[in-house]
Each structure stands twice: as C-alpha cells, then as structure tokens.
Structure 1
Amino acid sequence: TKAHSGRSGTDPHAVVRLLWVKLLVVLLVVEVVVDAQLICWQAIVRCQDEPACHLAYGQYLAACEGNLRGTRRQCPSHCISALIRLNHTRTGPDLEACDCAQDPECVRAKQAIEPCLPRRHPSDAGGIGCTEARQRCEEDGSCHSSLTAYLSYCGQLFNGRKCSSRCKATIQQMLFIPNGALLNRCVCDGVERPFCEVVKENMSKLCSLGDHGGHSEQPEVDDVYEDEDYDPKNDREEYPDPHSGAGRLAFCLPLLYWPLARILV
C-alpha cells in the first residue's frame, strides 16, 4: 500500500521543476521592471487599459496636437495641463519613459513634446527649471526681498509696456544674489511656462541690460519718454501686497519665473 501511495503521489522531481519555473518567471518579471524600458507602443496599450490614463491620453493628443504635428513651437497652457494630468495617472508616466525602439514617428513626437514637459534639473541644460529656481529664491531672505521689489516695480514690464529704470535696477540686483543667479539660468517649465516665456520676451524687447552695473549713457531715458497716460504709481499699486493672501497668490504666477540669460548678451 505504501508503494501504491508513493506511485500515486506527487513526483518530487516535478515539484522541484515547477518551483524552478516559478522562480525564473519571478526573476524575469523583476528584470523587466528594474532594468528594461517599455517599448512605447506597449506603454500606449497599457495606458489604454487604464480608464483614467485612456481619458488623459486622449485629452493630451487633442491639447498638444499642434506641437505633435510640428506646426507649433511654443507650449500652450492647456497642453502642459494635459501632460500633467496624464502624468498623474498610474500608467501615464510610462509614456514619458518608454523607448521608441527606432520608430521615427515616435522619436519625432517625443522631441516635439519634450520642451513642454515640467522639469527640475535638466541634465542637458546649464541651469534648472524656473519653478524650482523661484522656490529656492523665496526660501532665501534677501532673494525673496528682491522678488518682492521685482513684483512691485516691474508691473509695466509684465504688461509689455515698458521696463522702467527702477525695474532694471531690481533685476540687476537679483544677479548678485546667489539664489537669484539661478533665475539667470533657469528654463521656463511647468504649468506657467507659456506665461514665463511671455515675460522673457518682454524683458528681451524692453530691458536693455548690457552689463551688471545698472548704469548706461542715458540712465533715465525711459523716464523722459513716459507715456502720457502713465502714472508712476501704477507700478506699485497694480499688484497686491506680497504678504497678503492675494500677494502670495501672485507669487505663484509665472510673472516671477524670468530667466535672464537672453537679456544679458
């Protein structure tokens, strides 16, 4: 009977083989998760299987259509918002990290949309994202004070009207503060990137900062040629007290995310 029981029982060699197979499967899964990148078409399939990612991916395609087709260079705010929503889904981040596997259309789309992606420390840039640069500046007492002055004195610059001598002096003062210098190298990023780029363009057109000294042959030329309807008080009264609730909200606006690299050449 014992012999009969042994013959009808489970083969121990089969059990060992089964355990080895399971172990190999586990090791393969770990290797894929840790070492390998998903191919982008696989990432898209996974995204389509997740309802939240499927919805966010469709919104991203619609919002960023111009960028993906190569007909638009700047990133509209609704495209950036769609990217952020997609990245907040479970499988959405895989779409950014996936491997195109030499698919030319995939490579082109990734290159087209890359400038719209929020970033912190761009490895291929000489600086950091303006979002992080602003946060570091606000945590520094002297830099935060300069940001407050910048908000107070550069209202006409934000509106695209003028760059007053006081606004210029405030900007130049920022260049000599260590954390303010980060704003010189930062790259417009995040949800506020389009507005950051508008301010950068206004500074490039309106602020003639060819040196760090704050002096020029005609230092008050912008005050001589004031607009007839321009009230100097507007630079200060147009924006709220930065210590008030409205002022703290204003500090979150992209008007403070100003890279200075292009205006210092």
Structure 2
Amino acid sequence: MFALLAMAVCCVLREVTSSSCEEARLKCAYRTGCGMALQNYIVGCSGVLHGAWTSCPESCQLALIALTSTEEGQDLMTCACADELCEETKHKVEVCRPHVLVATRNETIVSCRTAQWICSADALCSTALDYYNRYCRAMFQGKKCTHRCNNSISILRRQEKAAKLNSCVCDGHEDYDCPRIRTNMARLCFHAEPPDNREPPTPSGAPTLAVSLVAVQLMASLARWAVVT
C-alpha cells in the first residue's frame, strides 16, 4: 500500500523503469500542492529512507500524511517498485505506516499542524488559507471582522481538504495565542459568546487543547512555507 515510497525514491533518486510511476511522479511534481508535499517528503523522510531512523520522525509523518491526502499522492501509492532499491526503501518507510493510516481516517481528530499540512497540499485549500490570512488581520488583532474576512472564512470552510481543520486540536507547539484567536472570531465575526477554552475529552493519543478552525487557519497561513526539519 505504501508504494508512494517506490515513487519517492525510485522515481526521484534514480531513473524509473515503470512509466506509470514516472507519470504519477510528474503529475504530482507539476501540481502546486502535491509538488510541495513531494519535496517535503523527500526532505522530511530523508533520515528514514537512508536508514538513520528506526522510528518515524514527525517531519516524515506530516509530509507523508500531506502527500497521501492528494489525488496525485493516492496515484503514487499504487505505483509498483521496479527494482530492489525501491523495495528496500519501501520497506524502510513502513515504520511510518501506522501514523499515516490513523491520521488519514475520516473520523480521526488530528493536531492542527497536521490539518494544516493536509490543507496546504491542496491548491484550492491553500489558496483559501492565503486569502483568510490576508483579509482577517484586523480580526487577529481583536479589532474588527470585515466582510472580506467573513467571506474568506466561508470559502475556506467549504474546502474539502479543510475538513480536519474544523475538529483539530492544538498541540501546544504553535507560536501564537490560539484561545485569543478563537475569542476574537466568536466575538467579532459571529457575535457569539467566547468559546470555552477548557480542555475537552479527546481520543487516545490526541492533543488536549481544543482550537477552532480560525485559530488553525492562522497557524496554517503563517507556517505554510516553513522549512521541514
């Protein structure tokens, strides 16, 4: 199932003999969202692919989740290995399989950083995040929620790949004040009572601090082009 590994190594590190894999690689590489996810995969999973890691680092998890969330990434998953090197690297990346399979289930509540990576790998969702970040700056600062800000929020919520942003949770590693953004959104954009920022029950293994779609969108917009470490 994890034949996307076959593409990432066999198709990137050496000449590929399978035309279907080459086709899938090129299709992904020339799509804005998938191409970025592919590059992040190559960088974020380099330690795993070169045998330096026996576990799956978060950078690799996020990159794989983002890549496999795209239509092109799904095509890469069905690409068969053409040689032993591909099979070997495919075996190495199996250590990441549990994390990726769990995170990509529809019912799984993921961290907001994971949800951001999924959205950023989709061209439409990524564009919607950019507009949100551009038009909601006054709301971020607690001043006002303009018509353009409200409209950008509406557009973002309609994106299929933004679905996990609605239920994601903050993992505490953000460099902004999630509760404050939630409060500003509720008060300025929806004229509602500020949301309860107490920690809600979450599935086993999930982060515990709930965060709204709006807070996540800010993080996604700001962190979208961060270099994978």
Instruction: Tell me which structure has the larger Cα radius of gyration.
Output: 1
TM-score of the aligned structures, taking structure 2 as reference length? 0.36
- Greater RCO (Cα-Cα under 8 Å, separation 6 or more): 2
